[in-house]
Amino acid sequence: MSQLIKGKSLMTLFSIKRNLSMSLYFACALLCSSVFAQPPEFDAKIVKQFDAYDAFQAVAVDANFFYAISNGRLTQHDKDTGRAKQQSTEKSPANDPLIHLDSGVVVDGRLYAAHSNYPGWPMTSSIEVWEVATMRHIETHSFGVMLGSFTWLDRHNGSWWGTFANYDRVQRGMTDPYGETRNTVMVQLDDDFQVLQSWSLPAEILRRMSPMSNSGGSWGSDGHLYLSGHDDPEFYVMALPETGSELDWLATIRLPGLNGQGIAWDRSVDGNTLWAILRSTRQVLKIEMPVLPDLK
């Protein structure tokens, strides 16, 4: 009997060791495959920096000005000198306070900004619109409670695009994560801001962004979508997938010192000029992006 028990014990031990070895093998294989499957990396460089007190969330840009965006205010700056020109108020015409502005984009003389009640619960979002000639708030579109916290907005190929972000961070007074970062979705919207399609982000990008999420996005002249996180010093070059519901990750652009946040391609000039902010120093950055090879 003792030999039988000893034999069973040895078999159990062998089985445990075998299962452990297989688990380690698959973990290693998964790790190795994820490392070697990483997209190519390229470097960008900062060509000019401007002090801008409202450079706390994002920057938008047009032919003559850049617009520093904070939680509740926009400041228009001369694009060449950085001198402040005009400033919006921190309330809408109805005297409602703006809570959390994020990225913005200038289209046909109007600045469209993503807005949410972050870190309030439940998450609500809206699009707020200013006339750039006067910096007067002129329009709002409410999403209400939807897919998350709306963090960026851009116009491309006849549609609006943006992201409803979710977060792994547990906000004050809450016991659960603020929506969970993995539930972040990038959306295509029609002219009335109704959702047409949505896509998820690759798991590795979400891991890098966690416990925060996708803060900025802007379509480049190369037809690729450039995304930024909340803190990481890099941009992610993305494309819509031919099949499925996950964005294709084509490349990573590194920029040491970047804090993430909202970004904007300068479509008024030829070349590869992207604008971003350095939140920690309240500065707007003019960035020369690399010319990418064919990534398809």
For the stretch 228-275, pLDDT in tens is 999 889 999 999 999 999 999 999 999 988 887 899 999 999 889 999
Same domain, 5 and 69: no
Residue 294, in any domain of the structure: no
Whether residue 198 lies inside any domain: the answer is yes
Does residue 83 share a domain with residue 3? Answer: no
| Plot region of 193 (φ>0 → left; ψ -120 to 50 → alpha; else → beta) | left
C-alpha count within 13 angstroms, C-beta hemisphere, residue 113: 33
Cβ atoms of 226 and 274 closer than 8 Å? yes
Q: Which of 262, 263, 282, 284 is nearest to 274 (CA)?
A: 263
In tens, the pLDDT along 16-42 reads 343 344 344 334 434 544 454 789 999
**Does some domain include residue 204?**
yes
- How many domains would you assign to the chain? 2
Same domain flag for 177 and 91:
yes
Please state the pTM of the whole predicted model.
Answer: 0.86
Domain at 213, CATH number = 2.120.10.30
Residues 32 and 133 in one domain: no
C-alpha 26, offset from chain centre: 32
Round the average pLDDT of the chain to a whole number and report it: 88
- Whether residue 133 contacts residue 109, with contact meaning beta carbons closer than 8 Å, is answered with yes
Same structural domain, 24 and 69: no
Residues 219-228 have pLDDT tens digits of 999 999 999 9
The CA distances from residue 272 to 44, 45, 87, 221, in Å, are: 10, 11, 28, 8
Look at residue 296 and tell me if it is in a domain.
no
166 and 241 together in one domain: yes
Is the same domain home to 173 and 87?
A: yes
DSSP-assigned letter for residue 281? G
pLDDT at 96: 67
The range of the structural domain enclosing residue 27 comes to 1-37
pLDDT at 257: 81
Separation CA 144–CA 130 (nearest Å): 20
Q: 172 and 106 in one domain?
A: yes
Same domain, 29 and 62: no
Do 110 and 219 share a structural domain?
A: yes
> How many Å apart are CA 250 and CA 252, to the nearest integer?
7
Residue 295: the pLDDT is 86
Claim to verify: residue 174 and residue 122 sit in the same structural domain: yes
pLDDT of residue 259: 82
Give the pLDDT band of residue 94 (cuts 50, 70, 90).
low
- C-alpha to C-alpha distance for 124 and 180, rounded to whole angstroms: 16
Are the CB atoms for 62 and 273 separated by under 8 Å?
A: no
In this structure, the answer to whether residues 29 and 113 fall within a common structural domain is no
